[in-house]
Every structure is written in structure tokens, then in C-alpha cells.
């Protein structure tokens, strides 16, 4: 069995496990969620709402498996799916057909597809949301997820009503490379010949053999074109990247582009970028950069995004705009150590909030260390103790598990660190913000919830103690068990994530939370009295969420503080723990 086949088997196992967790989901939905999570961690997607819809559309059909409005609503992301293929070859015409059906869905949403759908369903919310935002969408990205194999190396883009439509194919091999890379992003390779011509540069000598630097001047249009192709994925190693206000053009930058483009180089600090390799060729005028490998902008993300937005939304002319660039070539083995420091120090010319956390921050490293060393109490009826595995960087768990080639040792690892006990940074944010009684923030989606947790909770926070780690695990136990109970009570009812976070948040109103967390950690289970409270609360909570005013869009309603206020003020007798 080769590497792709082994990965396919493991992926199928993950799909099966996810279906068991998500009542009412098909394997197709679990497959989409798992792949979307990989792309979200990678930065290729901001998020995805899993939502499948299939219907006739004239002589063709519409089919979609998920959606999200990213870049402040200016980019519509849609997911097409072809699953299960079990590693078989997916032909060019199959790829084209799946993408066409999803493109048809976008067109149907434009034309008011939601008017033909049953209200108060996730499918209705999806179609209505897209229709409501259609006027501000200036780019559509359609991702085809498949467990089949493809030999296609590129897809031809098109447009819909003048809106650029970009297609991406994620087959089993590409998914495997991303999932098993042990890195937070699929490396970006930039061939300067594809963007116009090589970039003149000046090598900066250094006595330090660990790295070397190049100085260059980028045409403004080149940076805008690069951002158009790769988006926020360019900024994954920027300490601010996860927190930046995407889509908001810096007024000062925009003013300079519009009125004094020749002075942009003088007024702007430029960008700092890191690469793991760079190809330089000698030309008549000196050295020129031909290719960058693993290109990341660690400072100057706002400049880059603003140049792109100025072109996209203001039709700005960037021909006279030039941007200074410092490129640091860092060996792959030093990326995790050196790049975060380059990013932090490069950004130090501006005020850096201590909330600018990322996976290599001391807070998350300390959580990870606690998760590897702290043994949880054995639950009732068992003598087996386990760990709760905090996955600080995507893929850590599978990498750690794969180190044990012997079956006996691998099973021992899985007993000490059960897969069901694994949780990620965005999971932690979801639990924490629910217990901060901000379910409307949780409903914004994984990344925006993480942003809020970072800014509101972790800003200025001390390193997490063992007690804080234990409380976080107890919050996970409560949240996940409540979710499962709500699933059982309302199978296939939709809006499970929203109902869960709102129900748990409301439960906390009349609860001694510290005492509850201590009980849950010791028992490694949710007390029956809390489960009964969840059963009583989730019905009334669901009614509030479904009674969305105005447009009737439940998904959007759940994101509003007004929704939380109504749930918060609901009359309920409360719960008392002994």
C-alpha cells in the first residue's frame, strides 16, 4: 500500500468517526468538513458552512456542499464535492461537470433560488444569504473536494455577470500533501515569469550562515496580482495575519495611490517577506529574482491587501506605484524558530498588542505542554487515565501517532491520547467564548471566534496554569456532551452548532461555573443535573433562534448581540449543583 492509499484509508476512518459524531450527516458532509478544516488551517479558506443542496436547474442541475462569504462579504466561496471515489481517477469531464453544477447554484442564488425553498432550513439560509450579498460580491471561488485522483494541473477560470469565477481542484493527493505536511500552510511558489518579468535585486551580505537577505523593489501591480491569486494565505506567518481586518483599505495608502503614486515608495515602509529558497539569475543589469519558494509576507500585509483592493474596487492604476521589499531566505529547519521572531520584530515599528498570538506564542506552547503531561482522572467504572491532546499546530496528532511503527506502540499511544480527546486552537476558542457567554461571537465562525478569543480573553493573559488547562478540558466536556444531547433530542433539525453554544451560554447564568468545572474535571463527565438542564433549555432556545426578525435568516440572526440578549433574558428556573 503506497502513501496515498494509506492516507485514503485513514481519511475514510476519520470520515466514519465524524459521521458518528454528527447525527444526520452523511459521509459526504463529514468528508467536506474534514477537508475544509485542513484548508482553513492552511489559510486557503476562511471557513466553510457545510450545507448540501441538490436540485434540478432547467435541463441541468445545481449541487453545492458548502459555502462561506469571506473577505468581508466580497468573496463567495462554494464547495463542490465528488465522493466517494476511493482513489479512482476522476476524469476531466467529471471535474468540469461538478464545477458547473456548483456554478449553476451561484447563478440560481442570484436569481432568488431561496424563494422556492422551505424557510428556516440551512439550505434556505445559504441561498438567501448569497442572494442578499450578491451586489457586493466581486469574486467567486469554487473548490472541488474529491477523494479521487486527478492528473489535471490547471483549471480555466471564467466569470458570472462580470464577477471573476476561480476554480480549485483538491484531489486525494493534494489533500494528502497538505494534511501530512506537518506545516500550517501549503508552500506558495511564485514564478516571476508568470507575473511579467524577473525582479532586480541586491543581495545583502551576512556573516550569519543561518539565513541571507535580498533587497528589491516590487511593482505595485505585481503585489496586487500575487494577492489576487493567493489572498490571505500569503500572510500565514504574519503575527497579525489571523487578526487583521480583512477587506478594509487603509485610507492613507489609498490616498497616496490615488493622488501621488510616484511617492508611494518614499511614503510606505514596504514589505518584509520570507522564503525557503530563491532562484536568482545574472542579467545585463545585475542579479534578478526568477522564482520564490514558500513565499510569505511577514510584514506589510495591509499594504499588499490595500493595493489589491484599490485595483479591485476602485479600478486604481498601479503602474507608477513601487514597493520596497526585504526578502529573507530561511532554511526549512529554522522556519518555526526564526520566522515568528522576524514577523514580530518587523512589525515592532507599529504598536503590537500582546493579543497578537499565533501557534508559536508562549500561551499556546504552554497549553500544549500541559496537554502532554497532565493525566486526567479515570472516569467512573475505569482505572485507565488518559491525556487530553491540544493540537497546537495542524497535523501534530497524526504526526505523533505515525512515529510509532509498531502496532503495539501505536495502540499504546492511542490509549494514552484517544483521538476523541484531541482539540485545536479554534476548538478552544469556541469553548472559551461560549463560557464567556458570547454565543453570537461563536456563531461568526471558527476564525472570527478565534480572533475574538485572542483579543478579548488572551490579551495580557498570564501563561496558562494547569488549573486553567483543566478548566478548558471541562468546558470541552460540557460543550461536546451538550451538543450530543441536543442531537439526540432534535435529530436532523439543523442549526446544531448555534443551538449548542446558545444553550450552554444560557445555562451558565444561574450556575456556579467554577464548582461545575471542578466537578466535571474530576468525573470526566457531565453531571446528570446539567444534562437535564440542557434538555429543558435547548427547545426554548431553538425557538428564539428560529424566530429571526426581518429577513428570517437564522444564520445571520444568531450572529447578532440582540439574539443573545433575548436568550439571556429568557425566563428559566436555573440549576443547582450539589
Assess contact for 253 and 302: CB atoms under 8 A.
yes
Model confidence at 245: pLDDT above 50: no
The least confident of 172-186, 232-246, 375-389 is 232-246
Q: Are 454 and 355 in contact (CB under 8 A)?
A: yes
198 near 283, Cβ under 8 Å? yes
Q: Is the pLDDT of residue 573 over 90?
A: no
Confidence of residue 185 (pLDDT cuts 50, 70, 90): low
pLDDT at 356 over 50: no
* Angle 560-566-571 from CA coordinates, rounded to 5°: 155
Confidence of residue 353 (pLDDT cuts 50, 70, 90): very low
Measure CA of the first residue to CA of the last residue in the chain; give whole Å: 55
- Mean pLDDT, residues 546-564 taken together: 90
Question: Which residue in 504, 519, 523, 524 sits closest to 578, CA to CA?
Answer: 519
Please, where are the H alpha helices in 167-320?
172-179, 192-195, 220-230, 251-259, 264-267, 301-314
Q: What is the distance between the alpha carbons of residues 338 and 419, in angstroms, rounded to a whole number?
A: 31
Distance, CA of 483 to CA of 498 (rounded, Å): 10
The cell numbers describing 314, all together, are: 476602485
The mean per-residue pLDDT over the stretch 388-407 comes to 84
The residue to which cell 478579548 is assigned: 456
CB count in 10 Å sphere of residue 87: 20
Most confident among 97-106, 291-300, 379-388, 399-408 (mean pLDDT): 97-106
Q: What average pLDDT is seen over the chain?
A: 89
Least confident of 168-177, 206-215, 258-267: 206-215
φ/ψ of residue 424, rounded to 5? -110, 180
Provide DSSP, 521-578. HHHTS--HHHHHHHHHHHHHHHHHHH---TT--HHHHTTSHHHHHHHHT---------
Q: Model confidence at 358, in pLDDT bands (50, 70, 90)?
A: low
Backbone angles phi, psi at 353, to 5 degrees: -75, 140
CA distance 432 to 526: 17
Q: Name the DSSP letter for residue 525.
A: S
Q: List the grid coordinates of 2.
A: 503506497
| Strand pairing category for 422-424 and 389-391 | parallel
Mean pLDDT of 404-411: 88
CA dihedral for 102, 104, 107, 109, sign (positive or negative): negative
Residue 37 has pLDDT above 70, yes or no: yes
* Gap between the Cα atoms of 219 and 232, Å rounded: 19
Which residues in 526-558 are b (16+ Cβ under 10 Å) and which e? bbeebbebbeebbeebbebbbebeeebbbbbbb
pLDDT tens sequence across 433-469: 999 999 999 999 988 899 899 889 998 889 999 999 9
Residue with the three cell numbers 457545510: 50
Percent of the chain with pLDDT over 70: 92
Q: What is the pLDDT of residues 72-100, one digit of tens each?
A: 788 999 999 999 999 999 999 999 999 99
Q: Which residue has the higher pLDDT, 153 or 501?
A: 501
HEC string of 417-484 equals CCHHHEEEHHHHHHHHHHHCCCHHHHCCCHHHHHHHHHHHCCCCCCCCCHHHHHHHHHHHHHHHHHHH
Question: How many CA atoms are closer than 13 Å to the CA of 260, on its beta-carbon side?
Answer: 10
Please give, one letter per residue, the 3-state secondary structure of 64-77: EEEEEEECCCCEEE
Cell of 362: 508562549
Domain coordinates in residue numbering, the chain: 3-179, 189-349, 365-568
Q: Residue 187's pLDDT is what?
A: 83
In the block, cell 483521538 appears at 419
Q: What is the pLDDT of residue 90?
A: 97
Q: Are 525 and 481 in contact (CB under 8 A)?
A: yes
What pLDDT score was predicted for residue 351? 44
Would you place residue 475 in the very low, low, confident or very high pLDDT band (cuts 50, 70, 90)?
A: very high
Three cell numbers at 100?
458547473
Count Cβ atoms within 10 A of the Cβ of residue 147 and give its class: 0-12 exposed, 13-18 middle, 19 or more buried: buried
Query: Which of the pair, 529 or 312, is modelled with greater confidence?
Result: 529
Q: What is the mean pLDDT of residues 320-324?
A: 96
pLDDT at 315: 85
Q: Indicate whether 567 pLDDT > 90.
A: yes
Instruction: Find the mean pLDDT for residues 297-307.
Output: 87
Q: What is the largest CA-CA distance in the chain?
A: 82
% of the chain exceeding 90 in pLDDT: 64
Alpha carbon of 142 to those of 96, 228, 405, 446: distances in Å? 11, 15, 38, 20
Contact 186, 45 (CB under 8 A): no
Lowest mean pLDDT among 47-51, 96-100, 144-148: 47-51
Bridge partners for 273 per DSSP: 297, 327
Determine which of 190-204, 396-410, 525-539 has the lowest per-residue pLDDT on average.
Answer: 396-410
246-299: per-residue pLDDT in tens?
444 567 788 899 899 999 999 998 999 999 999 999 988 899 999 999 998 988
For residue 210, is pLDDT > 70? yes
Amino acid at each position: 500500500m503506497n502513501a496515498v492509499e494509506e492516507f485514503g484509508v485513514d481519511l475514510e476512518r476519520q470520515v466514519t468517526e465524524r459521521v458518528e459524531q454528527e447525527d444526520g450527516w452523511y459521509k459526504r458532509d463529514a468528508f467536506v468538513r474534514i477537508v475544509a478544516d485542513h484548508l482553513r488551517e492552511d489559510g486557503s479558506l476562511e471557513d466553510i458552512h457545510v450545507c448540501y443542496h441538490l436540485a434540478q436547474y432547467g435541463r441541468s442541475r445545481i449541487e453545492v456542499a458548502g459555502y462561506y462569504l469571506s473577505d468581508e462579504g466580497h468573496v463567495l466561496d462554494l464547495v463542490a464535492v465528488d465522493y466517494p471515489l476511493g482513489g479512482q481517477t476522476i476524469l476531466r469531464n467529471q471535474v468540469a461537470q461538478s464545477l458547473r453544477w456548483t456554478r449553476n447554484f451561484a447563478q440560481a442564488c442570484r436569481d432568488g433560488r431561496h424563494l422556492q425553498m422551505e424557510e428556516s432550513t440551512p439550505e434556505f439560509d445559504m441561498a438567501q444569504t448569497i442572494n442578499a450579498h450578491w451586489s457586493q460580491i466581486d469574486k467567486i471561488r469554487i473548490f472541488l473536494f474529491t477523494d479521487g485522483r486527478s492528473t489535471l494541473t490547471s483549471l480555466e477560470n471564467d466569470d458570472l455577470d462580470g464577477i471573476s469565477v476561480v476554480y480549485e481542484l483538491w484531489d486525494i493527493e493534494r489533500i494528502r500533501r497538505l494534511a501530512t505536511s506537518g506545516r500550517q500552510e501549503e508552500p506558495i511558489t511564485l514564478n516571476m515569469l508568470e507575473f511579467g518579468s524577473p525582479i532586480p535585486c541586491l543581495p545583502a551580505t551576512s556573516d550569519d550562515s543561518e539565513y541571507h537577505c535580498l533587497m528589491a523593489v516590487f511593482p505595485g501591480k505585481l503585489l496586487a496580482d500575487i494577492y489576487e491569486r493567493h489572498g490571505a494565505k500569503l500572510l500565514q506567518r504574519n503575527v497579525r495575519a489571523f487578526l487583521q481586518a480583512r477587506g478594509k483599505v487603509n485610507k492613507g495608502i489609498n490616498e497616496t495611490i490615488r493622488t501621488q503614486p510616484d511617492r508611494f515608495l518614499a511614503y510606505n515602509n514596504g514589505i518584509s517577506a520570507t522564503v525557503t529558497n530563491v532562484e536568482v539569475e545574472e542579467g545585463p543589469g545585475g542579479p534578478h529574482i526568477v522564482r520564490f519558494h514558500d513565499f510569505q509576507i511577514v510584514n506589510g500585509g495591509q499594504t499588499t491587501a490595500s493595493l489589491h483592493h484599490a485595483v479591485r474596487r476602485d479600478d486604481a492604476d498601479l503602474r507608477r506605484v513601487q514597493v520596497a521589499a526585504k526578502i529573507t531566505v530561511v532554511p526549512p529547519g529554522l522556519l518555526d524558530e526564526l520566522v515568528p521572531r522576524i514577523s514580530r520584530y518587523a512589525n515592532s515599528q507599529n504598536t503590537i498588542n500582546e493579543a497578537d498570538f499565533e501557534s508559536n506564542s508562549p500561551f499556546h506552547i504552554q497549553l500544549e505542554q500541559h496537554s502532554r503531561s497532565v493525566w486526567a482522572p479515570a472516569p467512573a467504572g475505569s482505572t485507565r487515565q488518559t491525556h487530553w491532546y491540544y493540537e497546537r499546530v495542524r497535523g501534530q496528532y497524526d504526526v505523533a501517532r505515525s512515529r510509532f511503527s509498531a502496532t503495539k506502540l501505536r495502540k499504546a499511544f492511542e490509549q494514552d491520547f484517544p483521538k476523541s480527546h484531541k482539540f485545536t486552537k479554534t476548538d478552544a476558542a469556541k469553548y472559551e467564548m461560549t463560557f464567556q457567554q458570547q454565543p453570537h461571537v461563536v456563531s461568526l465562525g471558527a476564525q472570527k471566534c478565534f480572533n475574538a478569543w485572542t483579543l478579548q480573553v488572551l490579551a495580557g493573559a498570564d501563561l496558562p496554569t494547569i488549573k486553567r488547562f483543566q478548566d478548558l478540558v471541562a468546558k470541552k466536556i460540557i460543550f461536546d456532551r451538550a451538543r450530543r444531547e441536543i442531537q439526540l433530542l432534535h435529530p436532523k433539525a439543523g442549526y446544531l452548532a448555534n443551538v449548542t453554544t446558545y444553550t450552554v451560554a444560557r445555562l451558565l447564568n444561574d450556575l456556579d461555573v467554577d464548582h461545575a468545572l471542578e466537578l466535571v474535571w474530576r468525573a470526566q463527565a457531565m453531571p446528570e443535573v446539567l444534562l437535564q438542564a440542557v434538555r429543558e433549555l435547548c427547545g426554548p432556545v431553538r425557538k428564539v433562534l428560529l424566530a429571526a426578525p426581518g429577513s428570517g435568516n437564522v444564520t445571520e440572526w444568531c450572529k447578532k448581540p440582540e439574539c443573545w440578549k433575548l436568550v439571556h433574558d429568557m425566563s428559566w428556573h436555573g440549576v443547582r449543583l450539589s
